[in-house]
Amino acid sequence: MSQMDISTRTEEGGWRSKPSFMTWRARDVVYVMRHHWIPCLFAAGFLFVVSVESSIKMVSESSPPFDIGFVATESLHHILASSPDLNTGLAALNSVLGVMQVSYIAWTWLIEGRPRATITALFLFTCRGVLGYCTQLPLSKEYLGSAIDFPLGNLSFFYFFSGHVAGATIASLDMRRMQRLRLAMLFDILNVLQSIRLLATRGHYTIDLAGGVAAAILFDSLAGKYEANTRKRQL
């Protein structure tokens, strides 16, 4: 075989006398690096992160949280802080996107009869509420709020994870599933612009945005499994 055999059980159900890694040969390693380069890349990333994490000093109690997204959007933050009308205008556009994604998710269920996106949203925002309540983070001192931001009224909100980003990702995933690729690309672009604005206004940390994307993908998968299991029980 030109592939690593990671199993240590024999066909009879017993165990080999040698551990699996002792049977690896040089050509097995080459095979893995050529045909499984993505896990190899993540393995290198893991080693790099371990070395970096152990050498970085923790942020002191007297210092504000460090966020690479805040650093990258520092100039835009100053522009919005000095231009309240521009900040309000961008908040209004962001609210339009929020209404668009909610409308699309509701449309897929109420009009098209496909509940997966709605189930995903219900799973996701319930989880977000639980996690947000468990760890309640203070607003950044640089936060730039707006009374017309979605949800309207400049209400309090949970930081982790971003409902704005998660909702747009749920809609985009459903659009791709239905081969509405151009519409999905539009939502992805708007989601990126929304993310930049949320960082610039200090409405979310970078980890909140990444968490929103990851949560949408996870709960979309769980909703798909829920639908599949429901159909099996009905047969």
Q: Any idea what DSSP says for residue 58?
A: P
Helix axes 84-110, 116-134, angle to 10 degrees: 130
Which parts of the chain fold into alpha helices (H)?
A: 26-35, 37-53, 68-72, 74-82, 84-110, 116-134, 163-177, 181-200, 206-234
Per-residue pLDDT of the chain (235 residues; tens, 9 = 90+): 444 444 455 555 555 567 877 888 889 889 999 999 999 999 999 999 988 888 888 888 888 889 999 999 999 999 999 999 999 999 999 999 999 999 999 999 999 999 999 999 999 999 999 998 898 888 888 999 888 887 655 566 777 889 999 999 999 999 999 999 999 999 999 999 999 999 999 999 999 999 999 999 999 999 999 999 999 888 7
- Give me the residue label for tokens 């829920």: 226
Q: Which residues are catalytic?
A: 164, 204, 208
| CA pair distance 81, 203, nearest whole angstrom | 13
